[in-house]
Amino acid sequence: MNDLITTVEGPVGRIRLNRPKALHALNLAMCEGVLDALEAWRGDASVQAIVVDHAEGRGFCAGGDIRMLAASGAGDGAEARAFFHAEYRMNHRLFVYAKPIVAFMDGITMGGGVGLALPCAYRVATENTKFAMPETGIGLFPDVGGGWYLSRLPGRIGQYLALTGHRLDGAECVALGLATHYLPGDALDTAKARIAATPQDIAGVLDALSIAPPEAQILARRDEIDRLFASNVLEEIYAALDADGGEWAARTLATLRTKSPQTMKVSLRLLHEGAAMASFADEMKQEYAVGAHVVQRHDFIEGVRAVIVDKDNAPRWDPATPEAVSDHVIDQIFAPLPEAEAWTPG
């Protein structure tokens, strides 16, 4: 079975993720397959639009091949770097692609799935959408452009999502601009058929099938999030949550205490610097350098052991507290790679 199905159906190029048992998590061959398809269709005048979705089972995409990344990180890291290199090229190619692309975020859209969907001009959420960047729970950080996208959300919501890994539903994705349309899940086949019939009017097709989303729950917390996550210093966020006294703040602090202090600090810096990045390519170059370093550090290998391999959900982070993560360590993680090893858009 092919993990990726790419076909041309009339005027539409179709990219379908097809690893149902892994919730369509991306591997190297899938990223390279997406790149090959986009390159083939770039100069093909008969292909007017691209549709990205998942084939069988639940989806859309649960992330990347985490076990492989951890196994590689425990060694020389070469395989992990090769995956990131191709994945980030795919993210960037989608971001700059000249033809309109529609991503159907129907179901779990996390990590690598976020990187696949958010560069697309049209992003369709449904009642099944579960959107998150949960990487700090496994000693990683919100990559695949997370530093770019999350830093551009309203107020401090991006920082909140990056640190906690909080899941958004489809309505919340629309309210925050992460999705452009909200369709009922049972309207997606109709949407795809109509896009194939009139690829020059994707907006019209999606607008006609859109329904009013339910209330976006996260907006009710907007003031609290902005106040409590105001700082770019992790210790100050802990202190603000601790001093608040409210039930939500206490729950949120308890959540943060389960995450990797090191990669929470990485995430805060990534968003702070990402907000000022001149281009998406600059962002991906930085994230590649950070990823190449983080994937070989203790917290990532330990986080994958605890959450994915042994499933004891009791990672032993080192350092164990925010105070013990020095600025020097974060500077090392953000050190640019030598030019010969650095990421390029291709």
Catalytic residues: 64, 112, 135, 143
User: Helices marked H in 150-304 — which ranges?
Assistant: 157-164, 170-175, 188-197, 202-209, 222-228, 234-244, 247-256, 261-274, 280-294, 298-304
Cα–Cα nearest to 201, from 276, 102, 346, 60: 102
CA pair distance 289, 306, nearest whole angstrom: 25
Distance CA 241, CA 243 (A): 6
What are the φ and ψ backbone dihedral angles of 282, each rounded to 5 degrees? -60, -40
Burial, 75: exposed, middle or buried (Cβ in 10 Å; 0-12, 13-18, 19+)? exposed
- Report whether 126 contacts 180 (CB < 8 A): no
DSSP state of 232: S
**Tokens (6 digits) for 10:** 């009339």
Cα 170 vs. chain centroid, distance in angstroms? 15
- Contact in structure between 106 and 60 (CB atoms under 8 Å): yes
Cβ neighbours of residue 173 closer than 8 Å, sequence gap 6 or more: 105, 123, 125, 129, 131, 179
Q: Could you give the C-alpha distances from 164 to 125, 143, 271, in angstroms and in order? A: 21, 15, 14
Answer yes or no: are the C-beta atoms of 141 and 214 closer than 8 Å. no
DSSP-derived 3-state class of residue 52: strand
Distance CA 92, CA 109 (A): 18
Which of 150, 64, 66, 65 minimizes the C-alpha distance to 112? 64
